[in-house]
Amino acid sequence: MRVRTGVAVAALLLMAGCGPGAVPAGPAPGETAPASAGAGCGTATEVTVTAADNGHHVCLDRRGTVRVRLPGTPAAPVTVSGTALAEVSEHLYRGVSAGTAVLASTVPVCASPAGPGGVRCLAVTAWQVTVVVR
C-alpha cells in the first residue's frame, strides 16, 4: 500500500511541474498565438509559434515564414523534417513547396533562471508543430 501511495504522490508532483515558477501555457503578454489548422485551414504569410502551440498544426502560404519563439536561454535548436520548409536563419523558416513539415525541439518545463538561492530545474519536454504549406 505504501508503494502505491508513494507512486501516486510522485506522479502528482511530476504533473505539477516545478511549482509556482512553471512556464505559462499561453502566449506572453502582447503576443498572440496563431490559429491552429482546422478543417477549413486558411493560410498565412507570417506565423509565430510558441511553446503553447505544442502538438498543433498551422497553415502557411508558400513563400510565407514561420518564426519559432521558444523559452530558454538560449532556446534549444529546432529541427525540421519534410521538404515543405527551408531554414532562413536560426528559428526562422520559409515555405518552399506545398506539403507538410514538422518542426521539433525541446522546451524547459520550469521557468529559468532560478532566483537567488533557488533550485535550478533542468527538466525539458518534447515540442513539435506540424506546418502545412499550401
Q: Which domain holds residue 68?
A: 40-133
Cβ 70 vs Cβ 54: under 8 Å: no
- Looking at the structure of the chain, the number of domains it has is 1
**30 within some domain:** no
| Pairing of β 65-69 and β 46-50 | parallel
Residue 13 belongs to a domain: no
Domain contains 112? yes
pTM of the predicted model over 0.75: no
Does 80 reside within a domain? yes
Give the DSSP per-residue string, 17-64. TTGGGBPPSSPPTT--PPPPP-TT----SEEEEEGGGTT-EEEE-TT-
For residue 61, being part of any structural domain is answered with: yes
Distance CA 111, CA 72 (A): 8
Q: What is the pLDDT of residue 39?
A: 47
Check residue 40 and give its pLDDT: 53
Averaged pLDDT, groups of 10, the chain, 134 residues long: 43 38 35 44 86 95 95 88 95 96 93 73 92 94
Grid cell for residue 104? 521539433
Residue 84: inside a domain: yes
Q: At 96, which CATH number?
A: 2.60.40.2020
